[in-house]
Structure formats: structure tokens, C-alpha cells
Amino acid sequence: MRLLIRNIKQLVQVEEKARRLVSGKDMSVIPLISDAYLLTGSGRIMDFGRMEDLPEELKYSQKGIKIIDASGRIVFPSFCDSHTHLVYAGSREAEFADRIKGLSYEEIAARGGGILNSARLLHKTSEDDLYRQSMVRINEIIELGTGAVEIKSGYGLNTEDELKMLRVMRRIKEESPLEIRSTFLGAHALPAEYKNRREEYVDLVINEMIPLVASENLADYIDVFCDKGFFTVEDTERILMAGLKYGLLPKIHANELAFSGGVQAGVKYGALSVDHLERTGEAEIACLTGTDTVPTLLPGSAFFLGLPDPPARKMIKAGLPVAMASDYNPGSSPSGNMKMLMSLGCIRLKMLPEEALNAVTINSACAMGLSGTHGSVCRGKVANLFITKEIPSYQFLPYAFGTDLIETVILKGEIIKTLSLSKQMVN
Ligand code: NIG
Ligand code: FE
């Protein structure tokens, strides 16, 4: 079935030629077509343009083409969420209350809570149940406009449970219409039984886990939580080198809790992205400049944990490309809402709506190696799109931070969701 979307008020993030990413001051530009049409076929974007240039043969209804009228509505490329941990068991709202009462994220982790708490829950959860719980989140983010998502392991922390998580991701790849990339994050936290034996755990990750993950082809990328109280630069470099031998490109957690040296380590090993970056100074910005590593900000976790915000403005001013992702996880960001994330980017990080939109589409696609096929409206790219309710402009999306504005979700050219309230005006 082909889809023809007509009378689109604004078709945003259009490209004649696919770009890898958008940097610096170019981030404040969103190419768009007003009063537009878009045609899909075989799951791809076939054509688009101004309504006045609609080809003659598309003016009348035809067999095999479903027509959607998008009068008053905006069409966006689906969000690309390049950093999540959405395969997990249970939840951690008791720690949420502990933090409200004054404990810090690091204090909770140091007393055996945090990631280790999720690891205990995951250990007790069967693979089927883990799949079922994770699919609820997958379906939730589809409704929220996400079309591609990266998911990390890291709540296993032993070989068997890490493989369990990665197999769940493989099953999600097979069953869901989302584009999925999976990342092995064995070095997410030190398991309790390795207390004071960090090097031995790193050896286990390198000598046992990585070869098994690679032999079953379970991961696309490799990650390390390179931060104060977790893994050192030396651990990180050893793990990244071992992963690279098996073709696992790095995407790492860096500089969330301290100036950890993680940014420099990531750049040194050609990381696709370095993520978090709440602690970023001139040295980190200089180190990223001119490299292919995408700085990825996770304002949901800075917001949820009350951390300092990463210096997005300084990065953009320095000419860097900035991506944003949800970090959807039970401890620091229990939300995969990319629209809300755009609002946080604007409100907390002082990004313009245009910069925030580039950060959650083309740049976050690049941060998971997908900007050739996702992250913009470009002929030949995968037809992952969403159509809003009637709204005044694309800038209304991050502005109306608490309102669900997505009416229709299209993934691989198929309509996944249409709200029944389609005729309702929002403003
Ligand atoms: O990205 N920083 C490390 N990992 C996650 C949090 C995981 C958790 O608390 O469960 C993050 O914030
Ligand atoms: Fe994370």
C-alpha cells in the first residue's frame, strides 16, 4: 500500500540530499515546505513537494494509494532516540522517594541500590517476562513518535543475564516495527560480588562476555559507564579496544557525575557518540571539535536527578553537532517521551526549537549510525513519520510541553496509530 499525504500545513526537516548531521549554527535551520504533499511506497519516502506541484496522476484517487488529508497538520520525521536502557525489569520509585528525601544518585548506588537494584530484579525475571515488560515501553514510545531507538544491556552484570537482555533486544528487533540498534553495556556498574575486584570484572567483560556477545551477533555497539564511582578511563580503554576487535563501535557514557576523561577516551577510540556530558568544559569541547563523535545530551536524566545541565549553547557556538536522547531507564530517566525532551532542550538547555528538532532527528540518527536512512524527510529514506493534530506551527511541539499532539504514526510506510479525536483543534 502506498500513502499519499496531502495538504500538509508544514512538512518539516526535508532534505534533497541526505546529510550525515547538522552542526553549529546550521542547527538553527529547519528546512520545510508549506502546503505540501508526501508519497510513500515500499516502506520508503518516494516523493514530496508543494501541493501546487502535485503530479497529475496523484490528483485523483487510485487503487493501491491511501490518501490522508493533513490540512492544518504538521508532518515530522519520526524521532530517533539514540540512547536508552528500556529493556529492564520492574521500576525504582522507592529510590525516587529516597532522592526527594535528600539522598544523591551516587549515595543510593554506593549502598547497593540503583543499577544493582535493577540487576537483582532482572536476574529474577524470565526472558519472556522481560520481553513482555519491554514491549509495553516499545509500544509506548511508538505512540510518542519515536521511529528508531538504541537499547543498551547493563542490568545483567553477569554473562548469562547480559545475554538474556541482548536476546530480548533481538526479539524486539524481529517483532516491532521500530528500527532498533543494540549496545552491549556489561560495564554499567560493578556487581556486588566483585567489590574491590574491579579489574577482575573488567577481565570478565573482555574475556568472556564480549566474545560471546559477538559470536551470537547480539550487539551493534559497545558502551562503558566511564565516570566517578563506576569505571575508570583505563578500564574504558581496555574494554573499547576489546570491543573494536569484534567490530563493536563505541558509544559511551561520559562526564555525567565528574570530569571523568570519558569524552577524551571516547574520541580516542572513534566513538560514534559520547553521551551525558553534564560536566563538559573547554577541554572536552576542544577534544570533540573536528571529530566524527557526536556529543549526545540527555536532559531527561539531568532534570530527573537535579544535575547541572550540559552546556549545549557553548557546544553549538563552538560549531559542534548536538544530539539529544531520552536515556529511558528506571533510575535516572523513566521516560522515553522525545517531545518532552525537546521541551527540556529548549527550556533547560536554551536550545531553539529548531536546534532541539535537529538534535532529536538527524543528529540522533547519526549518533546511532542511521542518518543514511532515518532522521529526515528525504527521498529513499524509510517512511517513518508522524502527523500532528491541528497546530499553528512546528515550534508549537516543544512549546506545548505537556500535550500529546501526535495524531498519526507511520512506520515503514504503515499507519500504526490514528487518534479518534482527529478533528479536534488543539489551540
Ligand atoms: O544513563 N548513567 C548510567 N546509566 C544510566 C542510569 C541507569 C540507572 O540508574 O538504572 C544513565 O543515566
Ligand atoms: Fe544511559
Ligand nearest to the CA of 304: 1
Strands 65-69 and 14-15, bridge-based pairing: unpaired
208 and 159 in contact (C-beta within 8 Å)? Answer: yes
| pLDDT grade for 419, boundaries at 50, 70 and 90 | low
* Two domains, one topology: 2-78+376-426 and 83-366: no
If you search the block for the grid coordinates 569541547, which residue do you land on? Answer: 285
CATH number of 83-366: 3.20.20.140
Work out the mean pLDDT of the chain and round it to a whole number. Answer: 96
| Nearest to 81, CA basis, from 220, 179, 222 | 179
Point out the ligand 1 atom lying closest to the alpha carbon of residue 88: 10
Q: What percent of the chain has pLDDT over 90?
A: 94
CATH of 2-78+376-426, one of 3.30.1330.10, 2.30.40.10, 3.40.630.10, 3.40.50.300: 2.30.40.10
The 10 Å Cβ neighbour count of residue 400 is: 16
Choice from 83, 85, 86 to test ligand 1 binding pocket (greatest atom count within 8 A of CB):
85
pLDDT of residue 110: 87
State how far the Cα of 61 lies from the Cα of 4, in Å rounded to an integer: 10
Smallest CA-to-CA distance from 293 within 324, 252, 343 is with 252
**Ligand 1 shell residues, CB under 6 Å:** 85, 114-115, 118, 225, 253, 256, 301, 327, 329-332
pLDDT in tens, 7-34: 999 999 999 999 999 999 999 999 999 9
Domain spans in the chain, listed from the N-terminal domain onward: 2-78+376-426, 83-366
pLDDT in tens, 172-188: 999 999 999 999 999 99
Residues 6+ apart with CB under 8 A from 273: 82, 83, 251, 252, 266, 293, 294, 295, 296, 323, 367, 368
331 CA distance to ligand 1 centroid (A)? Answer: 6
- The pick from 115, 155, 278 for probing ligand 1's pocket by mutation, whose C-beta has the most ligand atoms within 8 angstroms, reads 115
266 CA → ligand 2 middle, Å: 15
| pLDDT grade for 382, boundaries at 50, 70 and 90 | very high
